[in-house]
Structure 1
């Protein structure tokens, strides 16, 4: 059920009335140990914040899923001279 305009979340800040009504959408996630290490590694490699890294990861994941659902394929090449390998997501 949609929240009324007077509803608050997170210590009194106004709640968004629906998707797309706010530039930010606050969520809470529980990361596995592996995902937490991956997030730390992404932050280390890019210098981005955890929030920016998660946002970029979700955008990339959505793009890859769209390509795959449209019947396409995604290939990776781990080194400049290495072979291309088809990316498979389970």
Structure 2
């Protein structure tokens, strides 16, 4: 069974902004400065180590995944996780 593929572009170009709306820098990128908690900084570095992605790529992917998860929940969907493939119970994630 093949899982559906998500096209996150519809999440990244909100309806009030036409697709391809220029960003602040004008080069398809925006610079972001954030202050991470200790736990978030550890998770960020651990994710980058696990995937082999750069820290920047890790943030980019995380934001896209978070946008998808919040959009799914906002539309009434559930986000389920299962720790082991054969586990009988799934955990429902909630974002508030």
Q: Structure 1 length as normaliser, TM-score?
A: 0.74
Q: Which of 13, 28, 35 does residue 30 from structure 1 map onto?
A: 35
Matched, 1:88 2:94: yes
Matched residues in 1 for 2:25 and 2:71: separation?
20
Cα distance, 1:18 vs. partner? 4.4
- Summarize the alignment of residues 1-90 of structure 1 with structure 2, pairs less than 5 Å apart: 18-19=23-24, 21-82=26-87, 83-90=89-96
Work out which of the two has the higher radius of gyration on C-alpha atoms and give 1 or 2. Answer: 1
Between stretches 77-86 and 64-73, larger displacement belongs to: 77-86
Residue 71 of structure 1, CA deviation: 0.9
Q: Count the aligned residue pairs.
A: 74
Q: Which has the higher contact order (CA 8 A, sep 6+)?
A: 2
Could you list the runs of 5+ residues in structure 2 that have no partner in the other structure? 1-21
**Structure 2 length-normalised TM:** 0.69
